[in-house]
Amino acid sequence: MNDDIIEGASNSEDEDEQESVEGMDEGELNAISPAKKFVLDKADRSLSELFRWYKSGRIVIDPEWQRNYVWDTTRASKLIESFLLDIPVPVIYLAKNDQGKYEVIDGLQRLTSVFNFFDNQYKLHRLDLLDNYRGKTFAKLPKEVQNKLEDSILRSFELSDSSGDIHFIVFERLNTGGVKLNDMEIRNCLYRGSLNALIKDLSKNDNFIKAVSQKTFHKRMQDRALVLRFLAFYERTHLKCTLGLKRFLNEFLATYQDCPDSKLQEYRKVFEKCMKASLTVFGETAFRLKSDIAKPGKYSSGEWSTRPNAAIFQVISTSFAKYDLGQVAQRADSIYEGYIDLINSDATWVDRVRRATGESTRLKYTFERWLERLDDIMGATQAQDVRRAFSRQLKKEMFDAEPTCKLCGNRISLIDDAVMDHDARYWLGGQTVPDNANLAHRICNLKKG
């Protein structure tokens, strides 16, 4: 939800919410066990009671949610006025957790407006009917008006005895407040624990930030959504993702919610290694497609997309987990060329990282095709430092000297569009010596082959 602008897969109601990561569509939750049930209690609570709960920490408003408070003073003032005039205020939804505390599912704007007013954080203004209270904080209101407000009732529905999918779905459906929470933000509330804390921490990893290279992607927790994907696919592999991506990610979080230190350390280590490896191979344009890659039958010569793609991220980043950094660095150029070749030659793969990325069968394809390639490259007998002939460095030298296609005679505008014409799969480590190597357009070379 709310994650994918380019593919039109978003169900976001916030049209102006710019997402900085592509391919985030997780699909729908499916195959819910019918045994799961939940209880929704109705309660009428006074504002003073709710405020007391808030002060004592019984109502949990995550500090990270505070930034989602978007009401201005005018809107907050009108809410206070509604209470004073007995104008009905929409019901709020709370979820009771294991410790008897309440998470706010829906009602963050209303509750925060009330709590801030009781805390004298703003003055009433632009009231429609109660103009004599304009400019007053709670403390400055007449005592009987304070009492009236404290005794005002806010109806709440309180969700309890629920877990897993039901909890997530109720949260997803009911949360309609000022800013609709996305999947990761909901997870951040539902699966608190050591794993969630680690995800938050890893999202600040330098190499990760560099490789993704996206200034605003920490907004709306998109960075954490990527870290979660990494850990889930690393731990469970794509083979376990058979009921859709959303369920896969939720199950991983639920299973490892309070995972032990040893596991956390393992996760940290492998994440750091894989981010370093990704940066070594792809630099600061990792996990992307080319901007014009979608045009059918045409080789891309375009620039890298400005936005990383989550479906590519989960495949590429986890693929380095079983190799050590030295192995990857030694074959960095071959891996890079192998990736360029993949996105240029496999239209199905490109389609599957762009559309309906949460579907298990589509997702499986993206992993398998890349892992095959990477295995080929890593298994090649000659590492590229042995035969510089097959390295990107040589190609760059040739390109800088004479960027002309030997097959069609036209200019090659970008180095990624160039291949050595003697062997399209030279990135696997061929045998040809540099003397008879020529540069050609990828497409020309492919036609010839």
Site for Zn ion, rule CB under 5 A: 405, 407-408, 441, 444
**Which residue from 8, 128, 118 is spatially nearest to 53, judged by alpha carbons?**
118
Contact 262, 316 (CB under 8 A): no
Report, in Å, the least distance between residue 414 CB and Zn ion.
Answer: 13
Q: Which residues contact 397 (CB under 8 A, 6 or more apart)?
A: none
First to last CA, the chain: 43
Measured from the CB atom, the residue of 216 and 410 that comes closer to Zn ion is 410
Nearest approach in angstroms of CB 441 to Zn ion is 3
Q: How far is the CB of 404 from Zn ion (least distance, A)?
A: 9
Token pair 């069968």 is found at 361
- Asked if 207 and 4 count as a contact pair (C-beta separation under 8 A), the reply is no
Q: Which is nearer to Zn ion, 181 or 444 (CB)?
A: 444
Find the shortest distance in angstroms from Cβ 447 to Zn ion. 9
Torsion (CA) 378, 384, 389, 391 in degrees, nearest 10: 80
Which residue type occupies 67?
A: R
User: 22 or 421: whose CB is closer to Zn ion?
Assistant: 421
CB of 440 to Zn ion, least distance (A): 6
Question: What is the spatial distance between Cα 252 and Cα 249, in angstroms, rounded to a whole number?
Answer: 5
* Cβ partners under 8 Å of residue 351, min gap 6: none
Q: Least CB distance from residue 342 to Zn ion, whole Å?
A: 21
Nearer to Zn ion, 194 or 404 (CB): 404
Task: Report, in Å, the least distance between residue 257 CB and Zn ion.
Answer: 55
Q: Cα–Cα distance between 125 and 77 in angstroms, integer?
A: 6
Amino acid at the residue 333: D
The smaller minimum CB distance to Zn ion, of residues 124 and 440, is found at 440
Q: How far is the CB of 305 from Zn ion (least distance, A)?
A: 24
Which residue, 21 or 444, has its beta carbon nearer to Zn ion?
A: 444
CB of 442 to Zn ion, least distance (A): 9
For Zn ion, the closer of residues 95 and 340 by Cβ is: 340
Q: 114 or 405, CB closer to Zn ion? A: 405
CB-nearer residue toward Zn ion: 329 or 407: 407
Rg of the chain on CA atoms, in Å: 27
